[in-house]
Amino acid sequence: MSTELDLPAHVEIFDTTLRDGSQAEGLSLTVADKLRVAEQLDVLGVHYIEGGWPGANPKDREFFARAAKGDLFLANAKLVAFGSTRKAGGRAENDPVLADLLEAGTGYVCLVAKAAPWHVRETLRTTTTEALDMVADSVAYLRNNGRAVIVDAEHFFDGYREDPSFSRDFLRVVEESGATPVLCDTNGGTLPKQVERVVAEARELVGGHLGVHFHNDSGCAVANSVVAVCRGADHVQGCVNGYGERTGNADLTAVIPNLSLKLGVETIGEDRMALLTPVARHIAEIVNVVPSPHQPYVGVSAFAHKAGIHTSAIARAPSAYSHIDPEAVGNSTRFVLSEMSGRSSVALKAKELGLELTPEEAARVVERLKELEHRGYHFEVADGSLELLMREATGWEQSFFRLESHRVVTDLREDGTFTTEARIKVHVGDERVLEVAEGNGPVNALDGALRKALSPHHPEVSRIHLTDFKVRVLDSSLGTGAVTRVLIDSTDGERTWTTIGVSDNIIEASWQALSDSIVFGLLHAGATEHGQAGPGPGR
């Protein structure tokens, strides 16, 4: 086998988020969700979008019906319907699955076929000869009805280890039938060295397109996809954000830039590479799955720098600690501040936020960070509170409101239900305001009372919504007297931010995070400050 790379000039990107990806635990898409995801994939510029299995469930049948009706317009991608070959012992023209595939109305069809002798015998309960006939008959029937066909060779790598001669026969039948073979690592256990050998040998047998489809059970799906292309594969299947059953499929948001930016292989086109991050995050919002911050290329932490020595070097040479320009994939450099940060890190973060800090002010921020993080604060995950802290170092004090006092009372009723009431006294400008609100817990009640007090003076508060509330006990050995850290995520519909509070009193920690959240939201909404300095966020 040659040791030289046989890189193709162009690789087709086949996205199966709507079919294989939707099998991920905790991921459930409506038809409307599927249509929106498909639109985003088309914007990204993938070549194929596998929409689902039209005969498997009413949802997928409706998706293809609506796509055919015009509810889905694809400018770049080709929509693909997925299904299986005809049944053993049956006829293609009478097979209900193949009929459903034709009814879906897509120009492209992807068939799954058993490519391992053991699975042929034990799962299909037929012979290898019949298994090959099932492929040939099904492809011929679909092609005679005007469809282009891709064949997913299920368990191909396992089957190649078991019986290479059957694998070679399988590839021959697929290619002679006029379809594109796709080598599938269905159980996800194949390692890159094995992929390198098998794909290279398969490439010698296949003259047309050769595809690969990897699962991530051994953590090698992206690496296997890249190695396969280096050995001649020119069609790669996977999912945006690596969604999929068990540990997921090959993450296309890593496969695509690895091929294009690292190896110079054309995939989605240079003009669309910067869409990777926004599309990945948009799809994560649609499917309602929180993306991993540490996801390569597109994660919010992919180009985040925390160590002072790194950030000072980046100030002089931006590429010092980044393997690519983050903007190439639509991401950006972030500077994360913590007790490890120095003045250069603080200065860079201030510049990122649009703030001007003198060297003396930057030094004060550094000392304050070290002090607060020693007490349990964690500002690298609380961007909202961090910005307020940096503003305070310049002498700024929020004057949207000034807290006089608050009280929270929780009653347990005879019927076993709880009621929580919060009473708050604040000064807004020259006016003293008292408000009371009930809630389903102390934080909810405090939030309601504060909003009632501020709404007449700061209507912008109605745009601020709390989206998540997290509590962590920092020293469990102290039991109920332990210091707790509270994080609150908020949004105004355009931006999101996180604020933090730390105290051995969970109500006080919650108030710190809550008040910071409201102050940050009002500040960026352009609310009018009253010129009456209020307290800091309580740190």
Residue 375 amino acid letter:
R
User: 448 with 350, same domain?
Assistant: no
Cα 398 to Cα 42, 362, 535, distances in angstroms = 45, 19, 7
pLDDT for the residue 11: 97
Q: What percentage of residues in the chain have a pLDDT greater than 90?
A: 60
For position 210, which CATH number holds? 3.20.20.70
User: 135 with 234, same domain?
Assistant: yes
Assess if residue 41 is contained within a domain: yes
pLDDT tens, position by position, 6-48: 799 999 999 999 999 999 998 889 999 999 999 999 999 999 9
Cα 136 to Cα 91, 96, 103, 108, 140, distances in angstroms = 11, 17, 20, 17, 6
pLDDT for the residue 402: 92
Secondary structure of 477-525 as H, E, C letters: HHHHHCCEEEEEEEECCCCEEEEEEEECCHHHHHHHHHHHHHHHHHHHH
User: 438 with 497, same domain?
Assistant: yes
Q: What mean pLDDT comes out for the span 254-267? A: 96
pLDDT-based confidence at residue 535 (cuts at 50, 70, 90):
very low
User: 112 with 226, same domain?
Assistant: yes
Of 36, 1, 38, 2, give the one whose Cα is nearest residue 17: 38
User: 218 with 318, same domain?
Assistant: no
With tokens 């003259």, the residue in question is 207
Of 195, 192, 165, 166, give the one whose Cα is nearest residue 183: 195
Contact between residue 15 and residue 49 where contact means Cβ atoms under 8 Å apart: yes
For position 508, which CATH number holds? 3.30.160.270
- Pick from 53-67, 146-160, 329-343, 359-373: least confident: 329-343
Assess if residue 535 is contained within a domain: no
- Pick from 70-84, 253-267, 333-347: least confident: 333-347
Residues forming a β-bridge with 408: 422
pLDDT for the residue 188: 95
pLDDT(261) > 60: yes
Assess if residue 2 is contained within a domain: no
pLDDT for the residue 321: 61
pLDDT(478) > 80: no
User: 369 with 508, same domain?
Assistant: no
pLDDT(225) > 90: yes
Q: Please give the Cα distance from 61 to 58 (Å, whole number).
A: 5
Q: Please give the Cα distance from 530 to 512 (Å, whole number).
A: 21
> Taken in order 329, 331, 333, 336, is the CA torsion positive or negative?
negative
Residues forming a β-bridge with 112: 84, 152
Task: Print the domain residue range for 345.
Answer: 304-374
Assess if residue 381 is contained within a domain: no
pLDDT for the residue 315: 54
3-state helix, strand, coil in the chain (%, to 5): 45, 20, 35
Considering 327, 359, 374, which residue would you say is the last residue of a domain? 374
- Radius of gyration, alpha carbons of the chain: 29
Residue 231 amino acid letter:
R
Of 24, 90, 83, give the one whose Cα is nearest residue 57: 83
pLDDT-based confidence at residue 390 (cuts at 50, 70, 90):
confident
Q: What mean pLDDT comes out for the span 487-501? A: 88
User: 214 with 66, same domain?
Assistant: yes
| Average pLDDT over the chain, rounded to an integer | 88
The count of structural domains within the chain is 3
CA 483 to chain centre: 32
Q: Please give the Cα distance from 141 to 143 (Å, whole number).
A: 6
User: 136 with 205, same domain?
Assistant: yes
pLDDT tens, position by position, 509-531: 999 999 999 999 999 988 887 64
Cα 292 to Cα 250, 378, 451, distances in angstroms = 15, 19, 32
Q: What mean pLDDT comes out for the span 469-495? A: 78
Of 238, 243, 244, give the one whose Cα is nearest residue 257: 238
pLDDT for the residue 26: 86
pLDDT-based confidence at residue 375 (cuts at 50, 70, 90):
confident
- Pick from 93-102, 180-189, 249-258, 392-401: least confident: 392-401
Q: What mean pLDDT comes out for the span 220-234? A: 97
Assess if residue 3 is contained within a domain: no
- Cβ-count burial of 302 within 10 angstroms (0-12 exposed, 13-18 middle, 19+ buried)? buried
pLDDT for the residue 258: 97
Q: Please give the Cα distance from 137 to 177 (Å, whole number).
A: 9
pLDDT for the residue 130: 94
Assess if residue 248 is contained within a domain: yes
User: 171 with 104, same domain?
Assistant: yes
Considering 261, 287, 313, which residue would you say is the last residue of a domain? 287
Q: What mean pLDDT comes out for the span 316-338? A: 71
User: 184 with 53, same domain?
Assistant: yes
Assess if residue 21 is contained within a domain: yes
pLDDT for the residue 82: 96
User: 243 with 113, same domain?
Assistant: yes
Q: Give buried/exposed letters for 377-409 (b at 16+ CB in 10 A, else e).
A: bbbbbbbbbbbbbbbbbeeeebbbbbbeebebe
Contact between residue 193 and residue 229 where contact means Cβ atoms under 8 Å apart: no
Considering 325, 359, 374, which residue would you say is the last residue of a domain? 374
User: 321 with 407, same domain?
Assistant: no
Assess if residue 331 is contained within a domain: yes
Residues forming a β-bridge with 150: 110, 180
